[in-house]
Structures are given as structure tokens and as C-alpha cells.
Amino acid sequence: MARKYFGTDGIRGRVGEFPITPDFVLKLGWAVGRVFAREGHSKVLIGKDTRISGYMFESALEAGLTAAGVDVLLLGPMPTPAIAYLTRTFRADAGIVISASHNPYEDNGIKFFSSEGTKLPDAVEERIEAQLDLAMTTVSSAELGKVRRINDAAGRYIEFCKASGGHHLSLEGLNLVVDCANGAAYHVAPKVFAELGAKVTEIGTTPDGMNINLNCGATAPEALRARVLEVGADLGIALDGDGDRLILVDHTGEAVDGDEILLIIAKALHNSGELEGGVVGTLMTNLGMELALKSFDIPFVRAKVGDRYVMEQLHLNDWVLGGEGSGHIVVRDLLPTGDGIIAAVQVLKAIVESGSTLHDLKKGMTKLPQQMINVRLEKRVSIEGVESIEQAVAEAEQILGSDGRILLRPSGTEPVVRVMVEGVDEQLVGEVCQQVADKVEKALKPLVS
């Protein structure tokens, strides 16, 4: 069944434009409540990032859920993976996150977790969409849901993150800079690393509702790099607005992306005999990581882009480790979703146990030149069957030969077509990527105007 509202990661868009409007989100809360309602009161958690629109959508969801007879637990600003964890620990029927992740503050979105802390199955999302087509009703006053605020949510999650590195992990002697992107982890991440013993310099921890992801965080690590060099830190940690992405900066100022982070964790687990099975990457994962894993005889498979698809492959193979170059890292035996703080703890554990620097640990991978251009459109449009695009891809593949690859992927969360080219010749990769991007834009612009 084709879904009208749900993308690869919930429902997302510009605030005030359908469906990211208060009236739609009110009915969405009601529809979710109808799907999860059961005999006796069901229980749903709501968390959010620091966007100014979060207050509005929190109230709308709360009203819709209680009108359907569902109890609501409000967590306030919390990282997305924290909601997944707390949904499990509170034995809730579902968890809801109000966030547009790495997008600017003008956007927002609603995404969901099951009672197990996983993304909702497609079948459940389809049931929610079916409810949205019905007229909204309200249960009797005696059956209305109740609302309670959880005041110790941050403390619970901080302890979980600290424990993820093992009870004996100490970061004494490490000097860290932590950039929270003025987002949901601003009151959580610095405490995790400080309580583990590190000296922590905070940046991106003064959210005002509109500065989330603004020139900071995992999508803009320049400020982190500058501060790491300024204070002489051992490394820098950059999260995105909802705390599920991680990008690192080593002591020389070099960025360490999700592919390199994934390899560091994989090698550490492999060396300690704790790596169960292999590693899941995505279609975007740099070929250099695949070759590095092969040298350690660690199996590797590619999933479609998106942490829900990484999780699907982990589940199918019964493996524990997967991730994306963007910094979504899943350590499935700890939490079944990407978690920037937990991934950082695993890297720090590898640094402590090996006695190496982050700069040295990332040397195990030779990245092939990779270029990506985002072709931004007025609205989403399919690229399937567009002859000029298919021809452009075929010509690019011929130019690149067997030493390169090209991937076109429409974003699941915004009106963008991503053009990625990878190969051994950096100049050729850049030229081919630009040529294909220009042809994609020329082919699609008339379709959306």
C-alpha cells in the first residue's frame, strides 16, 4: 500500500505547511492513539528536540492521544535514541519524537518507536494512515487519557549511556570538546563524558529554539574543529540536532566520518572477540571501508540508505553493528537505533583500551574519493523511468569503468535527489558527479515547476 504521509523516517516538512501543521498533528496523535489503544489505558511517550515549534506539536499530539483514551508521558527535550530507550524501560506501547533531526529550525517532523524501541513496522504506519482518513472522535470523559511529565528522563538516559562502555571504563586524562548542535543532547551529552572522567569543553549547548544545527553540530563541524585546536583537545565530538548522528574531529583537526567511526568500533570489537557476525553499511558506504573490513575477514553487506534499513539487515543476519557515513551508528545489542552518544562512548573505549589516538585508529581505512551533490527541487519527484537521467548514469558508468560507481537516490525526508560518484581519480569523480547532477536538475526541474 502506498503511504501518503510517512517517509523513510516518519513525517517531516516545513512548519506551517501541510502536513506539519497543528491540526494535522492533532489528528495524527488521535490516529496513533486509536491504533495503540487497548483495554485499560495504553501509554505513549513524547520527546522532542529544541525547535521552537516543538511546544506547539507536543501540545497537539498530547490532545490527540488523550482524546483517543491514551495516557501520555512527556519527556521534554531528549535525544531521539533516548526516546527509543525510555519507551522500552517505561514499558510504553509507543514512543513519539518531535524532531527534524539535522534539518534547520524551520522544519519539524514526527517519528515513532515501537514498544521495543525499534522503528514502527510498515504495517503499523499503514494502520495509522487508515485512521487519518476517518472522522476524529473523542472517547467519553471517563476514558480520556491522562498526562504526566517524567522529570528524571535525562538522568536515566545518562546512566544508560555511561554503562554502554562497561562499568570499568574511565576517561580520566582525556580532554574532549563536545558540540551538541544546540539540540536535544545539550543537557545530556556533556554530562555523560564528564561523569566518565573526561575534561569537557561544551559548545552548541545554548539552544534558543532557532539555532539548532546552525553552523554547529555533525553537519557543520568547523566550529568544533576550531575549538579542538584552540584548547588542544584530544578529540572533538559532534552530534546533530536530535543526537542520533556522530562526527568526530581528531587532535589535528581532521574530521572522522561515520564510515571511519564504524570501522574503528568494528575493529575494536573484532580484536576483543565481541563482534557478532559482520557489519552492515549502506549503498553510500565508502568502498575503502568494505576493503578494510575484508582484510580482517569481517563480513560486510550493504543496505538501502536509512538506519531503519540498516536495522533490517542487522536483524536478518543477526549481527550487532551497522551504520552510515553520515554518522548514524547502530550497536544493536545496546539499542536498536542509531545513537551518537553511545557510538562516541564505543570509540572512546577503543582509544582507552588500545592506548592509541583517534588519529591513529582511523588510519586503518583508505577512503576512495567520493563526491556527492544534492539536487534540490521545489517538491519531491520520482526519477524512475526518466530516460535522460538513465542515459546520463549509463554514460557516467562507462567513463568510471570498473574502478568506480555512481548512485542516484531521492531523499526520503526532503525534496532532494542525491548524486553520489566514487572512484580512484578524484578529479574525474568530481567532474562526472557535476555532469550527472546538472543533467538530473535539467531533467527534473520541468516536472516540478
Task: Give the number of other CB atoms < 10 A from CB of residue 41.
Answer: 14
The DSSP bridge pattern shows strands 300-303 and 279-282 to be: parallel
Cβ-in-10-Å burial (0-12, 13-18, 19+) of 58 comes to buried
DSSP at 7: B
Give the orientation angle of helix 80-89 with respect to helix 340-354, to 10 degrees. 100
Distance from C-alpha of 341 to C-alpha of 334, rounded to nearest angstrom: 12
Strand residue runs (E) in 29-106: 43-48, 71-77, 94-98
Whether the Cβ atoms of residue 60 and residue 20 lie closer than 8 Å to each other: no
The pair phi, psi for residue 104, each rounded to 5°, is -70, 170
Element containing residue 27 per DSSP (H, E): helix 22-36
Out of 53, 101, 114, 326, the active site residue is: 101
- The amino acid sitting at 108 is N
DSSP at 369: P
Active site residue 449: no
Give the orientation angle of helix 122-132 with respect to helix 22-36, to 10 degrees. 120
Distance from C-alpha of 225 to C-alpha of 177, rounded to nearest angstrom: 9
Location of C-alpha cell 517538491: 379
Task: Give the number of other CB atoms < 10 A from CB of residue 225.
Answer: 19
Distance from C-alpha of 43 to C-alpha of 345, rounded to nearest angstrom: 31
- The amino acid sitting at 64 is G
The conformational region for residue 256 under phi > 0 = left, psi -120 to 50 = alpha, else beta, is beta
The catalytic residue positions are 101
